[in-house]
Chains A and B, each alone.
Chain A
Amino acid sequence: MTELDEKLCAFLDGELGEGEAAALRAALARRPELAARLAELAAVDAGLRALPAGAVAPDLRAKLERRIRAERSPGAARRPPRSRAGPGRRRRWLAAAVLSAAAAALALVVLPRLQHRETALANVEPAPIVEPAPADAAVSEDLPVIEVLDVLAELDELEGVGSG
């Protein structure tokens, strides 16, 4: 009876052609079980229409208005882009800048002294054999400041020897 149900539904919805609708009306008049089935299907629609509806909240229009206003405001349409330089990124940049400046300052101090040392050594008697400085005492980019200061102290001592 699926096909018949489908036809009854279309009839109920006013979607049958005039010829088909007339034929069905005649069948309904002859067959009470068909009429009962139509009533069952129609009861569904009546039941749906009788279902309670939630009331529209009194402030719903006001809430909608707020959202509309938010869309209307130019700020909503053109939010400033979020800065990519967050606090962490800024701190890292600052640390790199400080280290670069420190390296440059060290270079300015150490290089003239190294040049001065070469000149001084060239003018003195062969120096007593000095224990080679530990490898890690060499001035390098990675050298901690304390070790750099130690190297400078050694240079001062050598200068003292050279001039003495």
Chain B
Amino acid sequence: MVDDDVRLMLAFRSGDDRAFDALFERWAARVLRFLERMVSEAGVAEDLVQETFLRVWRARERYEPGARFSTWLFTIAGNAARNELRRPFRRASHESLDDGDEEGAPLALSGEDPPSDELVDARRAGQGLEAALAELPERQRSALWLRAVEGLSYAEVAEALATSEKSVKALIHRARVTLAKTMGGGGSG
């Protein structure tokens, strides 16, 4: 059974540009969310979303539906993020490939009108988790995010990270235990 995204990608491969628009609409926000966690800078993450979809556009004629579209898409996004992280002189958080005043601001919870105590606590917890996530090794972070948030199976995460399922299992376990400790669940990790 072919999923809707694969169908759209096949339509795009056949020359239907609207299918590409539809894929962008469906996936841009999720790819951005993933990339924000990978590079920790909103402006850079946005540039990488462009880069990811540009690579999808370039690869349209070579596309073969072998896996879920999301696995393929996050493989591309993850590779773009890794390339960025390996750059010897990474752009500072305020710099972006595109101009814009607020795009480069570091990720932060948006401020609103007087928050309740519960909301403040939740934000603090979220910020703590965000910071702990950013401290994880890139592969652990990537593996856990793709599994826990994007719902990829171990096999799919392994494909996205070009590694084995056994390795993915270990990466996810280590990442979860570290973050659980941060969140107050010391366990015995």
Contacts and interface: CB of A to CB of B under 8 A. Distances in A.
Given A9-B169, A13-B172, A47 B125 contact: yes
Contact of B180 (A2, A43, A53, A60): A43
Interface string B50-68: 1001100110000000000
B183 A54 contact: no
A14 to B, nearest CB: 8
Interface in B97-126: 98, 100, 103, 107, 109-110, 122, 125-126
A6 B173 contact: yes
B132 to A, nearest CB: 9
B149 A49 contact: yes
Contacts of B189: 1-2, 5
Nearest to A55: B29
A71 interface: yes
Interface stretch (A61-69, A92-100, A116-124): A61-69
Contacts of A68: 54, 57
Contacts of A55: 29
Contact of B187 (A37, A49, A63): A37
A61 B107 contact: no
Nearest to B102: A57
B187 A48 contact: no
Q: Name the residue among B33, B147, B177 with the largest chain A CB count within 10 angstroms.
A: B177
B183 A40 contact: yes
B176 A10 contact: no
Contact of A60 (B49, B126, B145): B49
Contacts, number: 118
Interface string A1-31: 1100110011001010000000000000000
A141 B107 CA distance: 72
A51 B54 contact: no
Contact of B53 (A15, A37, A40, A64): A64
Nearest to B34: A53
A32 interface: no
Contacts of A48: 129, 133, 144-145, 148-149, 179
Interface of B: 21, 24, 28-29, 32-33, 36-37, 42, 45-46, 49-50, 53-54, 57-58, 98, 100, 103, 107, 109-110, 122, 125-126, 129-130, 133, 144-145, 147-149, 153-154, 169-170, 172-173, 176-177, 179-180, 183, 185, 187-189
28 contacts: A2-B177, A6-B170, A10-B173, A13-B153, A15-B154, A40-B185, A41-B177, A43-B185, A44-B148, A44-B179, A47-B179, A47-B183, A48-B149, A51-B130, A53-B32, A54-B32, A54-B45, A54-B107, A55-B29, A57-B100, A60-B46, A60-B49, A63-B98, A64-B24, A67-B50, A71-B54, A71-B57, A71-B58
